[in-house]
Structure 1
Amino acid sequence: MGYAIIGFGNIGRALAKAFARKGIDVSVATTRDPESFAADAAAIGPTVIPKTLADAVKADIIFLAVRFESHPEVAKALATWQGKTIIDVTNAYGVPPEKLGGQPSSKFVAQAFSGARLVKGFNHLIAATLDQDPAVHGGRRVVFLASDDDAAAAEIGALAENLGFSPIKLGGLSEGGLLVQARGNSWGQLIFKDLVKFD
């Protein structure tokens, strides 16, 4: 199973650190030349591998950690995303709902990545929090997941657990998923909630 993170800003780097803590290989890419961020990747750890966008999208599971406005450009990297799982980490704050056809932003993103299974997740925490070790006072930091594909949600839930988080599934993108999506100039009710689950 190959993993990639597209976008290497604060959120992308925080996700890369989560993989590095567990010694799991992950490709990182932006629309720029990999050499431009190779030093930043190396500083996180040897399992964080800078790649071109064309190479990174060969992974099975891809974290979309770019600005919401940039997702159509990333989507052009492949003609079809069949067989891939996209984790939508974007936040469409400030994007008018009518621009999204009144849909949740993740459904809008899913249309760009035709054929992919899409899971909304890892987007409700600010970068500084996501950056920290998810083991907190004997518990595990919660990440919320929403998807219209139960199998994809289960797969990403297992990955979240491997990375040390405690996944909580919210159901479909238009139901529980709305709790972790920005709409216009308002945030979903679970955005920025830093919760810890104790087993």
Structure 2
Amino acid sequence: MRIGMLGAGTIAQAVARHAIRHGHEVVLSNSRGPDSLAPLVADLGPLASAATPEEAAAADLVVLAVGWTRVPDVAARLPHLDGTVVIDATNQFESLPPHARIADLGDLTGSEYVASLLPGARVVKAFNSLFARYIAPDPRHEAGRQVLFLAGDDADAKNTVIGLTSAFGFAPVDLGSLREGGRLMQLGGPLSGLHVLKQD
């Protein structure tokens, strides 16, 4: 699979490393341009490349992992994502700790808002509820596999993400729709920041 990364920070790099270890091609992008990603691409190896966000969004599957305040600008640059599976790994921080402020989206969940900015995309919420240090290492432990909560409105898209992340070693748990499941996972929800293992 060819996986496009919108963002090249800690979360994006952690997911990219899992993908590359399992033989997937990864296309990274950021706001500073492909040249700024040359050292990271060299470190990741021959299955990694750098491109513009528009080019990264043309991949088979896309991971959105940028800061919340940048989401509208990134979305506005992208072509129509007709049927593309987009993993939304964002959290709606208007400002970061120590003075963290959560964006007020009214009745919408964060991923419903993201989906509204990406017409045609099949959005699956995942990776946002885990701290990066729990995403990066091998998710398989002696006591079990790292649970990965996810939510989405498209069953086939969720199955794609479940298959991919299961291969990485995670234990995906489908929480339902972007509205109901997304509310459990997003900032302030009962599963945000919850790190648990599933025994096999």
Does the pair score TM above 0.5? yes
Once residues 141 and 159 of structure 2 are traced to their aligned partners in structure 1, the CA distance between those partners, rounded to angstroms, is: 23
Aligned partner letter, 1:132: P
- Tell me which amino acid in the other structure corresponds to 1:177: G
CA offsets 1:95-132 (integer angstroms, 9 cap, x no match): 342xx242111101100001111100011111122111
Equivalent position of 1:95 in the other structure = 102
Matches of 2:81 and 2:148, distance apart in 1? 25
Structure 1 residue 32: Cα displacement: 1.6
Unaligned runs of at least 5 residues, structure 1: none
Query: How far is 1:60 from its partner?
Result: 2.1
Give unpaired runs (5+ residues) of structure 2.
Answer: 94-100
Match of 1:4 in 2: 4
How many pairs are equivalent?
Answer: 193
- Is 2:191 the counterpart of 1:190? yes
Paired amino acid for 2:153: D
Is the aligned partner of 1:132 residue 2:137?
yes
Judge conservation of contact 2:151–2:158 (CA < 8 Å) in 1. yes
Alpha-carbon shift at residue 22 of structure 1 (Å):
1.9
The amino acid across from 1:36 in the alignment is: S
Q: Which moved more, 1:6-15 or 1:77-86?
A: 77-86
Letter in 2 for 1:198: Q
SS in structure 2 of the partner of residue 142 of structure 1? strand
Paired residue type of 1:140: R
Deviation string, structure 1 residues 122-153 (Cα, Å, up to 9, x no partner): 11111122111111116321111101111111
Percentage of identical aligned residues = 38
CA contact (8 A) 1:60 1:83 kept: no
1:152 corresponds to: 157
Q: TM-score, normalised by structure 1?
A: 0.90
CA RMSD of aligned residues (A): 1.5
Residue 16 of structure 1 pairs with residue 21 of structure 2: no
Instruction: Name the structure 2 match of 1:35.
Output: 35
Report the equivalent of 1:63.
63
Contact map agreement 2:54 2:79 (CA 8 A) in 1? no
Q: Deviation of residue 12 (structure 1)?
A: 1.1
Task: Find 1:180's aligned residue among 182, 185, 195.
Answer: 185
Letter of the aligned partner of 1:68 in structure 2?
W
